[in-house]
Amino acid sequence: AQSVAQPEDQVNVAEGNPLTVKCTYSVSGNPYLFWYVQYPNRGLQFLLKYITGDNLVKGSYGFEAEFNKSQTSFHLKKPSALVSDSALYFCAVTFTGGGNKLTFGTGTQLKVEL
Amino acid sequence: DVKVTQSSRYLVKRTGEKVFLECVQDMDHENMFWYRQDPGLGLRLIYFSYDVKMKEKGDIPEGYSVSREKKERFSLILESASTNQTSMYLCASRSTALSGNTIYFGEGSWLTVV
């Protein structure tokens, strides 16, 4: 069985400071990892994904994520947070041959304050 | 850009009513999905379809059915709505079932059953 954990329900950060939203996973086989963002009353927007290759993945809006196989983590990061980054962030995982079985975490609310 | 359109954003229905949620995608994607989103539970897969007239149950199919008569359209049906089906429903699509392909979401449909 595959699973995703987002250990923090909420993350607070000051504007201009770096931010990290944590994600750890468990799969059988090679993982495929995704990050999505959801603004209030909206659907999920794709940010970035790790399939293979470079462990540091760059995505939309200045976000990046680092795949760490030994720690089974895929933390989302941004060097300098903006108030407009405040949203709900979801990590998701599947695996090679997993087909349509994409498992989502429970989400982390990011709040960026002035 | 991929466009997944959910025609009804906000619905209020009575217990026992039959409810149809409609979804259309414009990218000729083979796979379409219906998820349910609840606070603290993340996204849970209700049903997915990998081709016209083809469907498979997800993690929580009870109380729901689906229809895919045309490739671009995927409908979620609540045969007899109940208050525990009050939720945000998200439609999604992706090109094929290859694990690395990105899933794209619609804007969501908020359903309240009273």
Q: Tell me the pLDDT of chain B (114 aa) as tens digits.
A: 779 999 899 999 999 999 999 999 999 999 999 999 998 888 999 999 999 989 999 999 999 999 999 999 999 999 999 999 999 999 999 988 677 789 999 999 999 999
What residues 37-56 of chain B have any CB closer than 8 A to a CB of chain A?
A: 40-43, 45, 48, 50, 56
Residues A69-89 as b/e (b if ≥16 CB within 10 A, e otherwise) read eeebbbbbebeebeeebbbbb
* Helix and strand totals (H; E) in chain B: 0, 11
CA–CA separation, A107 vs B49, rounded Å?
A: 25
Structure tokens at A31: 């993982």
CA-based nearest residue to B31, from B109, B107, B108, B101: B101
- What's the pLDDT score for residue B91? 97
pLDDT digits 0-9 by tens, A1-31: 789 999 999 999 999 999 999 999 999 888 9
Positions of chain A with pLDDT under 70: none
- What's the pLDDT score for residue A1? 78
CA–CA separation, A57 vs A76, rounded Å?
A: 9
Q: Which residues of A touch B36 (CB under 8 A)?
A: none
Contact between A43 and B42 using a beta-carbon 8 Å cutoff: no
CA-based nearest residue to B22, from B38, B11, B37: B11
- What's the pLDDT score for residue A101? 78
CA–CA separation, A43 vs A33, rounded Å?
A: 19
Strand pairing partners for B17?
none
Query: Is the CB of residue B61 less than 8 Å away from at least one CB of chain A?
Result: no
Query: Is the CB of residue B102 less than 8 Å away from at least one CB of chain A?
Result: yes
Q: Which residues of B touch A105 (CB under 8 A)?
A: 42
